[in-house]
Amino acid sequence: MKYRKFGNLEWKPSALGFGCMRLPTTSKEPADIDEPEAMRMVRYAIDHGVNYIDTAYPYHGEKSEPFVGRVLKDGYREKVRVATKLPCWLVKSTEDFDKYLNEQLKRLQIDHIDFYLLHALNKGNWPKMRDLGVLPWAEGAIADGRIGYLGFSFHDKYDVFREIVDAYDWTFCQIQYNYMDITKQAGTEGLQYAASKGLAVVIMEPLLGGRLARPPAQIQAVWDSAAQKRTAADCALQWVWNQPEVSLVLSGMSAMQHVEENVASADASGIGTLSEGELALVARVRDKYNELCPIPCTKCGYCMPCPSGVDIPRVIEKFNNGVMHDDAEGVRREYTWIPEEARADKCTQCQECEELCPQQIPVSEWMVHIHEVLAQGRPYEECLQP
C-alpha cells in the first residue's frame, strides 16, 4: 500500500480509503447489509494496508456506523483512523451537536472519532451551522477527547467552498472529484485552494458512483486505443492519485472484486506517475463523454430561480448523466431524490428561463421529455431532441 501526506499532520493515510456507503446487501433495502461479506471486504482492505474508514450517520439506513463498530473489533480499531459525519440537515438546535456525536460514538462502540466532518455543507446549511455555534462546540469536543480533528464534506459551487475553507482552521475537507468534475462543485480550483491553505483533501466519488468504471461502448473504444491497457476504473483512480494535492481517495466498494482491484491500483499509484500521453488519453475520454451530452447546459444558473420552482440545472444534469453514462436505472433512482415540487413536470412552459439561457436551450420542451424519461420510463433514444 502507498501512503500519502495528510495536510499538516504527521500521520500518513493510505492512498485508498474504504467508504462504507455502498456495502453489499442481501436485498434492495440499503439497511440489509450482507454483513459477513462486507466484514470480509473491509478487513481484507485493512489487512492490505488501508488505514482510513469512512462512514456517516445516514449511510445504509443508519446501519453503516453500527456495522463499522463491529468491523473494528478483534484488534482492527488500532489499525485504522475512523471518519464519520455530523448530519447537519437534522440539527435543529445547539443541543443536537452533542446528541448526534454521542449517539455516533455509541453506534461505533469507540471512545473517540479520529476525523469528524460536518456533512454536506453548502450555501444553505453552512450559515445555520455556523450561527448555531458548531465551531466552538467542536473545539470543545476536541478538547474533551471525543473528536480528534474537524473537517467538512461539501456539495456546492467553488465560491461557497472557498468561503467555508476561509472561515476556520480546518484540518481537512472532503470533496467530489474525478476527471469529469474538474470544473464542477469545488473542482480542481477548490482542490488546489484547500491544499494551499494546509488542508488535507479527501476525495469522494472518484468513479462517479461507479459510472466511470462502466463506460458505454463509445468511451471504451477510446480507452482501448491506449498503448498501455488499463481498466477504466484504474485509469480514473490513477488520474486522481496523480495529483499532489490529493490526500486519499475514498471508494465505496460493493464487492470483493472491487476491493481487490482497488487495493492493487492503490499499490501502483503515485504523484506525477502518469505520462503526458496517459493524461491526454483521459482528456480525450472526457471530451468524448461531453460529446455524448445531449443538453449543452453549463449550470451557470441564469435560469434560476424558476417561477414554478423547478430545479432546472439539477434536472438537466440527471438526464445528461443517464445518456452519457448509459445508466437509465441509476439516474431514474436519483431523479426521485429531487423534491417533487422541483421536478420537470412542474414546468408551466412560461419560457422565462429560455430568455435568460446563454446556451439558448429550449428548456420548456426538454422538461416534457425529461420527465417522460426519468419518471415515466420512456426510452432515452426517443427523447434526444427537444
| Same-domain check for residues 331 and 237 | no
In a domain? residue 169: yes
CATH number at residue 36: 3.20.20.100
Q: Which amino acid is at 236?
A: A
Over residues 101-121, mean pLDDT: 98
The letter for the amino acid at 44 is Y
Q: Does 11 reside within a domain?
A: no
The verdict on 276 and 344 lying in the same domain is: no
Indicate whether 53 and 190 sit together in one domain: yes
Please provide the DSSP assignment of 24-48 as one string: -BSSSSTT-B-HHHHHHHHHHHHHT
Residue 298 within a domain: no
Q: Which amino acid is at 286?
A: R
pLDDT, position 52:
98
* Overall average pLDDT of the 21-41 stretch: 96
| Same domain, yes or no: 41 and 101 | yes
If you ran DSSP here, which 8-state letter would residue 78 be given? G
pLDDT in tens, 166-189: 999 999 999 999 999 999 899 999
Is 211 domain-assigned? yes
* Residue-wise pLDDT tens digits, 295-305: 988 888 889 99
Dihedral sign computed on CA atoms, order 70, 71, 72, 75? positive
| Model pLDDT for residues 364-376, shown as the tens digit of each residue | 999 999 999 999 9
- Report yes or no on 81 lying in a domain: yes
pTM over 0.85: yes
Cell numbers describing residue 43 = 478487513
Scanning the structure block, which residue is given the C-alpha cell 471530451? 287
DSSP-assigned beta bridge partners for residue 121: 154
Looking up cell 469512512, which residue turns up?
54
Q: How far apart are CA 8 and CA 162, in angstroms?
A: 19
Residues 311-343 have pLDDT tens digits of 999 999 999 999 999 999 999 999 999 999 999
User: H or E segment at 117?
Assistant: strand 113-121
Look up residue 102 and give its amino acid: N
In a domain, 177, yes or no: yes
Tell me: do 276 and 320 sit in the same domain: no
The answer to whether the CB of 370 falls within 8 A of the CB of 315 is yes
Q: 380 pLDDT exceeds 90?
A: no
Q: What does each C-alpha distance from 280 to 148, 177, 179, 212, 239 come to in angstroms?
A: 40, 18, 12, 17, 11
In terms of domains, do 217 and 269 share one? yes
DSSP structural state of residue 350? -
Q: Are residues 273 and 355 in the same domain?
A: no
CA distance 190 to 194: 6
Q: Measured between alpha carbons, how far is 108 from 65 in angstroms, rounded to an integer?
A: 6
Q: Is residue 305 one of the residues assigned to a domain? A: no
Same domain flag for 154 and 221:
yes
Q: What is the pLDDT of residue 171?
A: 98
207 and 343, same domain (yes or no): no
24 pLDDT exceeds 80? yes
Burial of 311 by CB count in 10 Å (0-12 exposed, 13-18 middle, 19+ buried)?
buried
For residues 179 and 70, membership in a common domain is answered with yes
Bridge-partner residues for 248, per DSSP? Answer: 202
What is the number of structural domains in the chain?
A: 2
- Helix ranges (DSSP H) in the chain: 35-47, 59-62, 64-71, 95-108, 125-131, 134-143, 158-166, 187-196, 217-224, 232-241, 256-267, 276-292, 312-324, 328-335, 352-356, 363-374
Q: Quick count: other Cβ atoms within 10 Å of Cβ 92?
A: 10
Residue 171 belongs to what domain range? Answer: 16-282
Among positive and negative, which fits the CA dihedral 144, 148, 149, 154? Answer: negative
Domain assignment present for residue 63? The answer is yes
Longest Cα separation, the chain: 63
Instruction: Give CA–CA dist 368/370, Å, rounded.
Output: 6
> Which pLDDT value is given to residue 386?
67
Which residues sit opposite 172 in a β-bridge? 151, 200
239, 133: one domain: yes
Q: CA angle, 56 as apex, 162 and 74 as ends, to 5°?
A: 130
Same-domain pairing of 130 and 228? yes
**CA 312 – CA 301 distance, rounded (Å):** 9
